[in-house]
Amino acid sequence: MTATVVAEGVRRVYGETVALDGVSLAVEAGEVFALVGPNGAGKTTLVRALLGTTDAEGSVELFGRDPRAVDPERVGLLPQSFDPPERLSARELLDYYGGLYDEARATDAVLADVGLADDADTWYETLSGGQQRRVCVGTALVNDPDLLVLDEPTTGIDPRGRRALWRLVEDLAAAGTTVLLTTHDMDEAHRLADRVGLLADGRLAAVDDPDVLVAEYGGRSRLVVEADADSDALDIGYRTERSGDALVVHDVPPAEIGAIVDALDRAMISFDSLTWTEPDLEDVYLELTGESGPAGSRSAPAGVAGDRATTDPAEPGDGGRR
Amino acid sequence: MSRTRRLRAAVRADWHSFLRRRTAVFFTFFFPLIIVVIFGVLVQTEPTGGGLFAEPPAYYVPGYLAVVVLFTPLSRVGSEVARHRDGNRFEKLATTPLSRAEWLLAQTLVNVVVIGLAAMFLLGLVVALTGAVLSLSVATVLLLGVYVAVAVALFCGLGAVIGASADSQDGVIAASNAIALPLLFLSDTFVPLDMLPAWFRPAVALSPLTYFSRGVRAATADAGVGSGLDTLLVLAALAGVFLAVGAWSLPRTD
């Protein structure tokens, strides 16, 4: 593959604040690359450095050229906190940005892509926050770019709209568009990205396939038992430790949760909830940014869906005691 | 062709965006009306007396026109630059084919049309309310249109510089007023040169508005259309410089 974006030793300093400290990365053609990291980690500054909209030290090339010498027809950008001109409808805004390019996609097609066909003639100001963000995403798509850069594209968008946008990005990537996005949504990064770069304190702490990152840095599965008991009260063959108001049992396969419940029952330990969590990209994020707390502190509240199985002892047949 | 396409898209968007701000449009026309009513109708001129308004009513026509030609582009383009910066619109535009000069040109074209209409409205108002006697013909009106267009372009350039220099929209308004008010009164508009101290009079030539004022006065006097063209050339040259500096000053990076 050929690299669409190549950055070497990118450094950006604002006064005494080092926003980027020698970041190097390459994004291959057709790849979806997600940048994640805490607020202030330097994600937006890196996006700007890559596109040449901020002056940074080091070298950056887009399509093998200086970013400011690249044909702008090939690049589509959604800036962070983007607020387009006022008093224009969604259609007029897309017409405006499309009109800046020699070849633009049909406005109706872009409106359909971002799910705004029915609100096309509504003024931007009167759209909901999520709809506004979708218009902004549309402005990055109007020129059918080879490189699409989305700085927090799904901020403020409801789950349905978010998933529609994810499908759109997946379709674009399948068609060969290189996508560079920043996000705070780890599910988004994991689902969309071929590779994830974790930025912390202006440095890339890790870059890899999200599954590889999870395997390397995510830790192991945990069963968090909200119970008032000592860690040595259970003899279950799994490493168990006390963390806050809970017992944390490590490396429990989902199929063994029933055996743990039986063991709790035998030990006469009453519990308020059981939460099983599999390591994911958020664990990687917390681990590499130094934000992870004590073991089990990231346990989800009862009823959380997804890759966490939660057992509420109030439900019949669960063996729990009050 | 592609530049035309870009300009057309930018002008259309800016045109709609401005005209739909009803308060802004209203005061673009209402503000000069207030000035004419206060100075032209309430205060009135006294050609035979002393004081500030001692010249014939026609003398003050460039001053009244200057109210819209000067204030509106300064505040409008300055505020637009501030809004673009606050909304990261320049960051977005930096990755499109639209250049900073084209963006400013689009803003200028919209201002020329809107302020041209306001100036014509104002001219009719001055003649009707103050009894100013002007030598108007089709050629004169066209020449006035050129003066207004060139001066608006000049102050759009200056507005861009103010917008790029000020750190907020409030700052733009404050800076615009601080620059426009002295210019309005010290550019051979409302205050005749002989009312100023002798040592200050050369400084009037430093104001771009002076060339607008003298040119408009010459064009609307009996001297004929051909008179005052030298001031038009100076004004056009200054407009070119201010537009270039304005376009250069627009943010391209953070």
Asked whether residue A118 carries a pLDDT value surpassing 90, the answer given is yes
Same domain flag for A50 and A163: yes
Domain parsing of chain B, residue ranges: 2-249
Pick from A151, A155, A154: nearest CA to A79: A151
Point out the residue among B5, B8, B16 whose CB comes nearest to the CB of A88. Answer: B16
Q: What is the ipTM of this complex?
A: 0.89
Higher per-residue pLDDT: B43 or A92: A92
Look at residue A293 in the predicted model and tell me its pLDDT. Answer: 57
Is any Cβ of chain A less than 8 angstroms from the Cβ of B23?
no
Tokens 């607008």, residue located? B212
Q: Using pLDDT thresholds of 50, 70 and 90, give the confidence band for residue A304.
A: very low
Q: How far is CA A239 from CA A9, A109, A223, B169, B176, in A?
A: 43, 55, 11, 61, 71
Look at residue B115 in the predicted model and tell me its pLDDT. Answer: 94
**Lowest-confidence range among A280-289, B7-16, B43-52, B101-110?**
B43-52
Do the Cβ atoms of A177 and A148 come closer than 8 Å? yes
Asked whether residue A123 carries a pLDDT value surpassing 60, the answer given is yes
Same domain flag for A233 and A202: no
Residue where a domain stops, chosen among A168, A196, A216? A216
Same domain flag for A60 and A186: yes
Residue where a domain stops, chosen among A197, A216, A235? A216
Higher per-residue pLDDT: B141 or B241: B241
Domain that holds residue A279: 220-311
Same domain flag for A191 and A303: no
Q: Using pLDDT thresholds of 50, 70 and 90, give the confidence band for residue A27.
A: very high
Contacts of A144 in chain B (CB under 8 A): none
Same domain flag for A229 and A298: yes
Is any Cβ of chain A less than 8 angstroms from the Cβ of B9?
yes
The answer as to whether A159 is a domain residue is yes
Look at residue A268 in the predicted model and tell me its pLDDT. Answer: 85
**Lowest-confidence range among A147-161, B41-55, B202-216?**
B41-55
Same domain flag for A292 and A228: yes
A contact set with B (CB within 8 A): 48, 51-55, 72-73, 75-88, 92-93, 95-102, 139, 143, 149
Same domain flag for A271 and A178: no
Stretch A280-290: mean pLDDT: 84
Among A250-254, B39-43, B213-217, which range has the highest average pLDDT? B213-217
The answer as to whether A138 is a domain residue is no
Is any Cβ of chain A less than 8 angstroms from the Cβ of B224?
no
Same domain flag for A184 and A245: no
Helix (H) or strand (E) holding A309: strand A308-311
pLDDT digits (tens, 9 = 90+) for A240-272: 888 888 888 888 888 888 888 888 888 888 888
Is any Cβ of chain A less than 8 angstroms from the Cβ of B188?
no
Point out the residue among A82, A87, A143 whose CB comes nearest to the CB of B88. Answer: A82
Stretch B40-56: mean pLDDT: 70
The pLDDT mean for chain A works out to 87
Asked whether residue A316 carries a pLDDT value surpassing 80, the answer given is no
Same domain flag for A229 and A306: yes
Asked whether residue B52 carries a pLDDT value surpassing 80, the answer given is no
Do the Cβ atoms of A269 and A229 come closer than 8 Å? yes
Look at residue A220 in the predicted model and tell me its pLDDT. Answer: 82
pLDDT digits (tens, 9 = 90+) for B165-205: 998 889 999 999 999 999 999 999 988 888 899 999 999 99
- Name every residue whose Cβ is closer than 8 Å to that of residue A159 and which is 6 or more positions away in sequence: none
The answer as to whether A27 is a domain residue is yes
Stretch B135-161: mean pLDDT: 93
Q: Quote the percentage of chain B above a pLDDT of 90.
A: 63
Higher per-residue pLDDT: B118 or A291: B118
Residue where a domain stops, chosen among A161, A184, A216? A216
Q: Using pLDDT thresholds of 50, 70 and 90, give the confidence band for residue B48.
A: low
A114 DSSP assignment: T
Is any Cβ of chain A less than 8 angstroms from the Cβ of B86?
yes
- CB-CB neighbours of A303 under 10 Å: 10
The answer as to whether A147 is a domain residue is yes
Q: Using pLDDT thresholds of 50, 70 and 90, give the confidence band for residue B73.
A: very high
The total number of structural domains that make up chain A: 2
Higher per-residue pLDDT: B228 or B21: B21
User: Where residue A191 sits, what CATH number does that domain have?
Assistant: 3.40.50.300
Same domain flag for A231 and A179: no
Q: How far is A186 from chain B (nearest CA, A)?
A: 25
The pLDDT mean for chain B works out to 90
pLDDT digits (tens, 9 = 90+) for B75-133: 999 999 999 999 999 999 999 999 999 999 999 999 999 999 999 999 998 888 888 88
Asked whether residue B254 carries a pLDDT value surpassing 80, the answer given is no
The answer as to whether A43 is a domain residue is yes
Do the Cβ atoms of B11 and B39 come closer than 8 Å? no
- Torsion sign across C-alpha atoms A169, A171, A173, A176: negative
Look at residue A43 in the predicted model and tell me its pLDDT. Answer: 94
The alpha helices in B50-207, defined as continuous H runs, are 61-86, 89-93, 100-130, 138-165, 169-185, 201-204
The answer as to whether A96 is a domain residue is no
Asked whether residue A26 carries a pLDDT value surpassing 80, the answer given is yes
The alpha helices in A104-199, defined as continuous H runs, are 107-113, 129-141, 159-174, 186-192
Stretch A193-206: mean pLDDT: 93
The answer as to whether A154 is a domain residue is yes
Asked whether residue A309 carries a pLDDT value surpassing 60, the answer given is no
Same domain flag for A147 and A21: yes
